[in-house]
Structure 1
């Protein structure tokens, strides 16, 4: 699957119609969750039952009937995903909270399937044909959607972001592979001082994007509280604040995308740490720095480009890789503040390079499990997969590549 994203240009009434469609989607999803909660235990509330319930909602509420029928089904599918995730966590005996479905308050997208929209045959325009009144809008972007057959477009999603409205097309197409420029074997140790250090001694600088933008973000946040509640100036201040955070998020994704592509393009084998970032950010002293360096983004893009360049990627448990000597195997205890590894046999390396060598050695010593992402997507909200865990999706490759 390939996702193409365009910014929408329309009129104020069209934006209001998109907002109404998004709110209707949230209403259907929440009503489906309530229907599941109120049903008796012996009742089998599955996807078919919830789709039938969305049909009943269309008969009961006029504003629901105005939304395309397949868009209503997409809304109930979001409830199905939340319910299935909860049951899966219970059956898998995942520790902690099991993710009991909750009502949504900040939905920002509406998703159409194969009906409810039509593309202009020659220009980058799309018309939404349901009764919400969105009508024809212009698509701004460099990708040419008209080169793909209409039958290959499986989903059309309207997304509201801090800087405007976007239209995303999920297209069923084969991912084209590319040739590598080298066949190196490399181990990667991610960190906070550097984005990653590899077993060859290369250090990728950490851009620290949030820290650089933090002064501007805090200033924008203070401006919000200086405006009176309910006034237009406060709404504009909130939008400026949100746009600054959105810019940092996009910069993080772009940086992770670029360095992951470079690593996979030059390597036949990439070994990285199998980290549980969700648990690591519970350390409040390091949480902001960990989120800023975006280890999760980097790992997902590694898995995507591994498919594109036919690179084998392996996740390794990083236990003791920082304490063990990569040369002689001796254990050299050191704190986080100690940045140089020195063993009694004369091996002296930068701490992260030593860990990267250990990570690569572990993969060579045993057969690691490949972590290739065969779909070629960092996160998926497409047909047959999780529909709404991520809606802020962009095209899977950088415009500059």
Structure 2
């Protein structure tokens, strides 16, 4: 399985200038590859592929000497990105979705360089990263890299910080599987409710920073375009967004790790978050909660530890009684489930979490109506 490690880089001012020139040169190759494929279709109805654009690189490098400061495989990767953008475009066309034709990258809009083969143009030596045509950059290895390094991506964040992302191939390390299973209902009142009654509070990271962000954005809007002051204020806005994202990511990592350590089977609803974001009243809160990120982190950690994560159909999980199966219709504002048939009175989200666990058991072939939802898992 693949795993990613991300480390902070501390290049010198001279190295930052060279890195920015590398990004601009690679951006030019990306845009030229996109323009070439676009022209070929519009003028000759000819569909160019990845290797057609790869074959043009020597000519582009002869015509544009600035490309020679970038490693050849990094330039090839820019063509790969264009090819992937077209493949995604055609997939959306076939699926009947809004396709979104691949777009050109404006100045400052291309912010990463990928070395597809570790050891070819990039390598680690102690606490320094050696890059071809650049030299040694200090890297903070805050944890050891386990496994075989496959690719390395150098990324420039919107705040001006630089990072190295290592894609590593590792062997799964199964751990003793706990007998307990859990169903999890995610929401806005509480971030998550477990089928055993536990709740994880909703941190609302964006909401907590909303006033500071609005103030910074007003200051940015007042600055004249193209001035150093506007660039400085743009970085303040980017730093607030980065802080929100870091806190949200840390929260998801910590709670997903706790779940994977405690439970052998974890059941979630298979939510269509993109569709839910069309609700204009709740879109900001739903995006702030980042349920999909939490589920993805849990799935990744579970795969490495030998746990099972099950995604179930979310229909009627909040409406169905977890004791007798009766449908009890209730509005979103009703926070307590009260069944008129069996008399069960339970927190709405806990009732949904038990139903999610039942569906998870059912999808794995277990008895969905066992009185003890945690009993019998091997």
Following TM superposition, by how much is the alpha carbon of 1:42 offset from its aligned partner in structure 2, in angstroms? 5.9
SS in 2 for 1:169: strand
Alignment partners' CA distance in 1, 2:214 and 2:61:
45
Spell out the pairing of 1:13-28 with structure 2 (5 A cutoff): 13-28=14-29
SS in 1 for 2:167: strand
Does 2:223 match 1:220?
A: no
**Could you say which residue in structure 2 is the equivalent of 1:326?**
322
**Could you say which residue in structure 2 is the equivalent of 1:71?**
74
**Could you say which residue in structure 2 is the equivalent of 1:361?**
358
Name stretches of at least 5 consecutive residues in structure 2 with no aligned partner: 366-378
**Could you say which residue in structure 2 is the equivalent of 1:238?**
234
Match of 1:49 among 41, 49, 52: 52
**Could you say which residue in structure 2 is the equivalent of 1:35?**
36
Higher RCO (CA-CA < 8 Å; seq separation 6+): 1
Does 2:343 match 1:346?
A: yes
**Could you say which residue in structure 1 is the equivalent of 2:176?**
179
Alignment partners' CA distance in 1, 2:331 and 2:170:
49
Following TM superposition, by how much is the alpha carbon of 1:178 offset from its aligned partner in structure 2, in angstroms? 3.1
CA contact (8 A) 1:340 1:350 kept: yes
Q: Cα 1:90–1:224, aligned 2, differ >3 Å: closer, same or farther?
A: closer
Does 2:121 match 1:116?
A: yes
Match of 1:296 among 292, 295, 301: 292
**Could you say which residue in structure 2 is the equivalent of 1:142?**
142
**Could you say which residue in structure 1 is the equivalent of 2:309?**
313
CA contact (8 A) 1:184 1:269 kept: yes
**Could you say which residue in structure 1 is the equivalent of 2:11?**
10
**Could you say which residue in structure 1 is the equivalent of 2:99?**
98
SS in 2 for 1:58: helix
Following TM superposition, by how much is the alpha carbon of 1:153 offset from its aligned partner in structure 2, in angstroms? 2.8
Please list every run of at least 4 consecutive aligned residues from structure 1 whose deviation after the TM superposition is greater than 4 angstroms: none
Deviation string, structure 1 residues 101-130 (Cα, Å, up to 9, x no partner): 22223121111233223433xx31123223
SS in 2 for 1:158: strand
CA contact (8 A) 1:30 1:103 kept: yes
Task: Please say which of residues 284-293 and 164-173 is displaced more in the overlay.
Answer: 164-173
CA contact (8 A) 2:205 2:288 kept: yes
SS in 2 for 1:194: coil
**Could you say which residue in structure 2 is the equivalent of 1:128?**
131
Task: Please say which of residues 37-46 and 320-329 is displaced more in the overlay.
Answer: 37-46
**Could you say which residue in structure 2 is the equivalent of 1:377?**
none
**Could you say which residue in structure 1 is the equivalent of 2:370?**
none
Match of 1:164 among 144, 161, 173: 161
Does 2:198 match 1:197?
A: no
Give me the TM-score of the superposition, normalised by structure 2. 0.88
Q: Cα 1:55–1:279, aligned 2, differ >3 Å: closer, same or farther?
A: farther
**Could you say which residue in structure 1 is the equivalent of 2:372?**
none
Deviation string, structure 1 residues 332-366 (Cα, Å, up to 9, x no partner): 11111110011113111111111111112223334
Alignment partners' CA distance in 2, 1:299 and 1:69:
37
Q: For the aligned residues, what is the CA RMSD?
A: 2.0
Alignment partners' CA distance in 1, 2:175 and 2:161:
34
Q: Cα 1:237–1:117, aligned 2, differ >3 Å: closer, same or farther?
A: same
CA contact (8 A) 2:7 2:139 kept: yes
Alignment partners' CA distance in 1, 2:298 and 2:3:
17
Name stretches of at least 5 consecutive residues in structure 1 with no aligned partner: 369-401
Q: Cα 1:306–1:86, aligned 2, differ >3 Å: closer, same or farther?
A: same
**Could you say which residue in structure 2 is the equivalent of 1:272?**
268
CA contact (8 A) 1:18 1:158 kept: no
Q: Cα 1:15–1:365, aligned 2, differ >3 Å: closer, same or farther?
A: same
Alignment partners' CA distance in 2, 1:234 and 1:179:
55
Alignment partners' CA distance in 1, 2:150 and 2:62:
27
CA contact (8 A) 2:149 2:167 kept: yes
Deviation string, structure 1 residues 151-202 (Cα, Å, up to 9, x no partner): x43222111111511122223332433334x321111111001111111111
